[in-house]
């Protein structure tokens, strides 16, 4: 079952269970995916966006919710901060388990080796390959630092 199908199925389940918070979040996700599909069609990709793009979208949604929660906490609105964190938790259910620092280092090392990257000029190629392989699972800021270290020492 694709990620898109899983979200739609879970949305139907939330409707039947009358779980308003979950349903609201799943509708938000669905709307964001449909918006991305429209943008993809404008780029002549008639099939819409794939699971990789959806994972990237979900990662952005989680980040937005976390930033909003911090803003609400600073403003003293703990009820709204909690609601944002609850939404982020629901969105996270659809993302794969994030990679830890060791896994990121191993992945960076293997990509640098596979591409025969020899210097910082190859940084873009390496990061592009990591993004295509590990979208939604990897913290690319940490990966970028690791790749940069590996390429600087090469």
- DSSP character string of 123-143: HHHHHHHHHHHHTTTS-HHHH
> Are both 86 and 11 inside the same structural domain?
yes
Asked if 41 and 77 sit in the same domain, the reply is: yes
> Does one domain contain both 88 and 115?
no
- Kindly indicate the confidence band of residue 13, based on its pLDDT and cuts at 50, 70 and 90: very high
86-110: average pLDDT: 88
Provide the token pair at 141.
């800021």
Residues 83, 139 within the same domain:
no
- Same domain? For 88 and 131 the reply is no
Do 112 and 145 sit in the same domain of this protein? yes
Q: Are residues 87 and 112 in the same domain?
A: no
Whether residue 32 has pLDDT greater than 90: yes
84 shares a domain with 125: no
Instruction: Specify the CATH number for the domain of residue 72.
Output: 1.10.1510.10
End-to-end CA distance of the chain: 42
Q: Please tell me the total count of domains within the chain.
A: 2
Query: 0.75 exceeded by the pTM?
Result: no
Let me know whether 74 and 114 are in one domain: no
Q: How far apart are CA 57 and CA 10, in angstroms?
A: 18
What pLDDT score does 9 carry?
A: 95
Are residue 70 and residue 24 in the same domain, yes or no?
A: yes
Average pLDDT of the segment spanning 53-71? 91
Domain range for 62: 3-92
Distance CA 89, CA 111 (A): 31
Residues 8 and 72 in one domain: yes
The percentage of the chain sitting over the pLDDT mark of 70, rounded to a whole number, equals 99
Same domain membership, residue 73 and residue 7: yes
């Amino acid at each position: 079952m694709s990620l898109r199908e899983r979200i739609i199925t879970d949305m139907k389940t939330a409707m039947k269970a009358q779980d308003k918070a979950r349903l609201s979040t799943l509708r938000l996700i669905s709307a964001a995916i449909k918006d991305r599909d429209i943008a993809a069609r404008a780029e002549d990709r008639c099939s819409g966006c794939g699971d990789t793009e959806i994972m990237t979208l979900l990662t952005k949604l989680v980040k937005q919710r976390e930033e909003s929660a911090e803003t609400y906490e600073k403003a003293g609105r703990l009820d709204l901060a909690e609601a944002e964190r609850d939404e982020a938790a629901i969105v996270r259910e659809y993302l794969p388990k994030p990679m830890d620092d060791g896994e990121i280092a191993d992945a960076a090392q293997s990509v640098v080796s596979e591409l025969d990257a020899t210097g910082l000029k190859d940084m873009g190629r390496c990061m592009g390959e990591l993004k295509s392989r590990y979208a939604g699972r990897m913290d690319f800021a940490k990966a970028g630092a690791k790749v940069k270290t590996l390429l600087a020492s090469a």
